[in-house]
Structure 1
């Protein structure tokens, strides 16, 4: 079987206003127990390997198998962290052991009133058979922000 070699690029910006103080939203990313409570696909996935090292140069790993479906693997490196302001990561995704994408994501935290405006900006490169997956990545990121909102509520 020959794999068609190709690249596709996709980018998106998502913004959410959470009626929660900024330090609480920040802690949902910076504290391992809190992040584990909301990160991932919830009941749709059987969790596997997990690693959490929230520092510049630190790595996160989240792996899991969707029920009756593929094994998903996320590996991120923190490239910039400014407490209560921003988190920047580069990350790679695999599906059933096949490298599907590399992305850079910036997560920004801004106080407004008594709440927090959270902005996620991402640019990704999708490989070979996953070339058209940018829309799914945006949808998956929206799901994570929904899960974060539910966790914070």
Structure 2
């Protein structure tokens, strides 16, 4: 079987207002026990390898097997962290051991009245057979932000 070599690019912006103090939203990303409580939460994934190193240059790994399905692997490097303001990562995704994409994601935290506005902006490059996966990535990120909202509630 020959793999068609091609690239696709996709980007999206998602914003959510969480009715909690900014520090609470920030800590959900910055503290390992809190991130574990919502990141990939739910019973759809059997957890695998996990690493958490929240500092510039630090690396996160989250791997899990979808029940009756593929193994997903996320490896991120923190490239910029400004406490209570922003987190910037570059990250790679694999599906069943095949490198599917590389992305840059910026996470912004802004206090507005009695809510925290959280903005996730992402730009990704998708490889070969995963070239059309951009909409799925946005959908998966929406799911993560929903899990975060449920955790914060």
Bin of the TM-score, shorter chain as denominator length: over 0.9
SS state at 1:43 partner: coil
User: Matches of 2:42 and 2:136 in 1, distance apart?
Assistant: 17
**Counterpart for residue 5 of structure 1:** 5
**Counterpart for residue 106 of structure 2:** 106
User: Matches of 2:118 and 2:7 in 1, distance apart?
Assistant: 29
CA gap of 1:41–1:97, structure 2 versus 1, over 3 A, is farther
Q: Deviations over 1:47-88 (max 9, x none)?
A: 000000000000000000000000000000000000000000
Q: What does residue range 52-91 of structure 1 map to in structure 2 within 5 Å? A: 52-91=52-91
Deviating 4+ runs (over 2 angstroms):
none
User: Matches of 1:2 and 1:81 in 2, distance apart?
Assistant: 41
Stretch of structure 1 that moved more, 122-131 or 32-41: 32-41
**Counterpart for residue 135 of structure 2:** 135
Give the gaps of 5 or more residues in structure 2: none
RMSD: 0.5
Normalised by the length of structure 2, the TM-score is: 0.99
Q: Find out whether 1:32 has 2:13 as its counterpart.
A: no
Structure 1 residue 40 displacement after superposition: 1.1
**Counterpart for residue 18 of structure 1:** 18
User: Matches of 1:20 and 1:8 in 2, distance apart?
Assistant: 37
SS state at 1:42 partner: coil
**Counterpart for residue 115 of structure 2:** 115
SS state at 2:33 partner: helix
Q: Deviations over 1:6-26 (max 9, x none)?
A: 000000000000000000000
Normalised by the length of structure 1, the TM-score is: 0.99
User: Matches of 1:41 and 1:81 in 2, distance apart?
Assistant: 24
Give the gaps of 5 or more residues in structure 1: none
Structure 1 residue 107 displacement after superposition: 0.1
* Aligned residue-pair number: 153
Structure 1 residue 122 displacement after superposition: 0.1
User: Matches of 2:5 and 2:73 in 1, distance apart?
Assistant: 21
